[in-house]
Amino acid sequence: MQRISSWTDLVAALGRFRYGTVAGGVAPTPLKAEWLNMVQEELANAILAYLPELDANDNTQLLQAIQAAGVNFALKATTLAGYGILNAYTKPETDWLLSQKANNAITLAGYGIGDAYTKAVIDAALAAKQAAIDNLAATKQDKNTALMAPNGWRLDKATGLLEQWGNGYCPPDTTTGPISFPTPFAEVYNCFGNKINTNSVDGDGNAAGAFATNTTQYQLFNDTNLIGVTVHWRAIGKAPGY
């Protein structure tokens, strides 16, 4: 928006229109087509920002646009209030403020004022903030991992708790050699097991189970003296790196 003084010098103080006088030989301020077109476009743009089209038969469109702007602002405030946000900028408002900040930084630098953020700096900061949010979301989604198999494991990445399980055959009255866990422990808290089927002909209580040899291996044992068994085992401990 500009005053008529931007197009003609025949103006009153402060760039206002003036009356002319025939006796004094003072010409009135002329109505310039450029100024009238500028006023027309200003009004049209204000209306089209909130109404679908201009209507030559409706002289209340500017009023309607102003009212629509008020309703739109109220709806934004209500929506933000629903999230507990009572004092926040919308994205278009933020983009506009950032662009003004960058423009001001260039202008102020000409006056020796260097303490101002450019748009590029702000955009980089916002991108870094978004990256941190994305990484946090990815961490939450990747909280647990597992190998789902007969001999498998499950890791709780939030605590480092590692749980493993499996099964294996152990001959009569025997302890197997060391067998590798599906994945290494940093520390084993407990390792135990039992066979699937009991056998009533053995008088030793059909004892069978498992025990950890170290953080990477375990062994199965079977105290029954007549029948080989399949032992199901489970181990709990801490994963490496926690």
Domain residue ranges in the chain: 4-82, 91-140, 145-238
Amino acid identity, position 138: A
Report the DSSP beta bridge partners of residue 162. Answer: 155, 237
Residue 155: per-residue pLDDT: 94
Q: What is the pLDDT of residue 239?
A: 95
Please give the CATH number for the structural domain made up of 145-238. Answer: 2.60.40.3940
**Nearest by Cα to 205 from 224, 177, 183:** 224
Which parts of the chain register pLDDT below 70?
A: 72-89, 101-116, 136-143, 198-206
pTM of the model: 0.42
Look at residue 108 in the predicted model and tell me its pLDDT.
Answer: 52
17: which residues sit within 8 A by CB, 6+ positions away? 4, 11, 28, 29
pLDDT for 207 equals 84
How far lies 230's CA from each of 26, 153, 236, in Å? 115, 19, 20
The pLDDT assigned to 113 comes to 56
Which pLDDT belongs to residue 204?
Answer: 59
Phi and psi for 186 in degrees, rounded to 5? -90, -30
